[in-house]
Copies of this chain bind each other. A is one copy, B any other.
Amino acid sequence: MSITAPKGFRAAGVTAGLKASGKPDLALVVNDGPARAAAAVFTSNRVAAAPVHWSREVVKDGRVDAVILNSGGANACTGPQGFQNTHTTAEKTAAALGVSATDIFVCSTGLIGEQLPMDKIVAGIGAAAAGLSDDGGAAAAVAIMTTDSVSKQSLFTGADAEGNPFIIGGMAKGAGMLAPGLATMLVVITTDADVRPEMLDVVLRDATRVTFDRADSDGCMSTNDTVVLLASGASGVVPSAGEFGAGLTQVCADLARQLIGDAEGASHDIAIRTFNAASERDAEIVSRAVARSNLFKAAIFGKDPNWGRVLSAVGTTDAAFEADALNVTMNGIQICRNGSIGDDRRLVDLEPREVLVEIDLQAGNAEATIWTNDLTHDYVQENSAYSS
């Protein structure tokens, strides 16, 4: 169950000494082909990290030979020196693998505004290249962790119309998401299916739009968020866009759910489903407005089914609805009916970690779900007690 499960990939995770904790901090993923097709999506933050600028250029031709990731510093807001350090990272990795630096995709995560210790990075690249193995996926998933409490991996086995199997493997780090992001989210997805870069790009954007883009733990967008998808073609199987996209979406949804489940300091994972909306866009903005209400999130932490805070967030949007036609259900109890008092709020059980809030706009047939977390003492503690 890892990025090395599909044929044609090797990986490694090593300790380069970037972290004070002494934990693994450098991962390398290599596509041995025969194909080296790739696509990627990046943070939409205009203050993007040096590796984001670099990797955007690398993936433009649809070819990536390897991904090098460090979890000891974001290399964001580091000026020309920071970009030079990303360039050097790519060159040293390329030299170790005997490929071109322009085919090396670079990711970084950690504190913003600090230069990376390049001597340690360079030494670590040598160790990672030497340690590459076809079961190195799990070690790589550990080496990209920052505030994560567990590593995150996912696996999907699919088949084309004739039943020929292909595999998609994924790993993720970060209690965050693509855009916005709590902390930097880095995701590497591999497949042995034979898929051209153009199709990879289309299905990756489709999949991330309804998975990572709808995980909104704390509304903050990172400078480094990246999802990269590599296809080796080693299975020789050529699935249709539908066959491949379905599997890819499943892997992305699984990883996004794992990110929400491990979000910094959270005690509840909250699915906010808006339905009977006039459009999917309306459903998404309503769910996101609720997901970003600190008052709502603090209430869920306190196990208080405070539907007034749901309605006051819904009311800030321009979605189509009438205020006196809103229904809100929390974990199955309809506590708000037609914009007013519904069933007894004391019937709502908010003890379980997973919470389902359903908002009925009575304005159409579209729906969307945003995943978020509650606002807790531990969130404040983790994000105030030290720089991250």
| Residues of chain A whose beta carbon lies under 8 Å from any beta carbon of chain B | 44-48, 74, 76-79, 81-82, 111-115, 180, 182, 218-223, 292-295, 298-299, 301-302, 304, 306-309, 311-317, 321, 323-324, 326, 336, 338-341, 375-377, 379-381, 383-387
Contacts and interface: CB of A to CB of B under 8 A. Distances in A.
A360 B26 CA distance: 35
Contacts of A381: 377
Number of copies: 2
Q: Which 6 A-B pairs have the closest CB atoms?
A: A112-B308, A302-B384, A47-B315, A79-B340, A298-B383, A45-B315
Nearest to A314: B47
Contact of A336 (B77, B180, B383, B384): B77
A77 B339 contact: yes
A355 to B, nearest CB: 14
B79 A338 contact: yes
8 contacts: A46-B321, A48-B323, A79-B339, A220-B295, A302-B385, A375-B380, A376-B380, A377-B381
A79 B377 contact: no
A113 B316 contact: no
Nearest to A183: B295
B221 A312 contact: yes
Main secondary structure, interface of A, reads: loop
A321 B47 CA distance: 10
Contacts of A182: 295
A338 B113 CA distance: 12
A79 B341 contact: yes
A111 B308 contact: yes
B76 A308 contact: yes
Contacts of A336: 77, 113
Contacts of A315: 45-48, 221, 223
A47 B311 contact: yes
A78 B326 CA distance: 12
Contacts of A218: 294-295
Given A79-B324, A380-B376, A306 B387 contact: yes
B223 A311 contact: yes
B78 A341 contact: yes
A135 to B, nearest CB: 36
B219 A292 contact: yes
Contact of A223 (B312, B338, B380): B312
A161 to B, nearest CB: 43
A220 B313 contact: yes
A115 B340 CA distance: 10
Nearest to A319: B46
Contact of A340 (B82, B301, B387): B82
B293 A113 contact: no
B326 A384 contact: no
A292 B380 CA distance: 14
A383 B299 contact: yes
Contact of A384 (B46, B304, B317): B304
B219 A78 contact: no
Given A77-B339, A294-B383, A341-B77, A45 B112 contact: no
B379 A312 contact: no
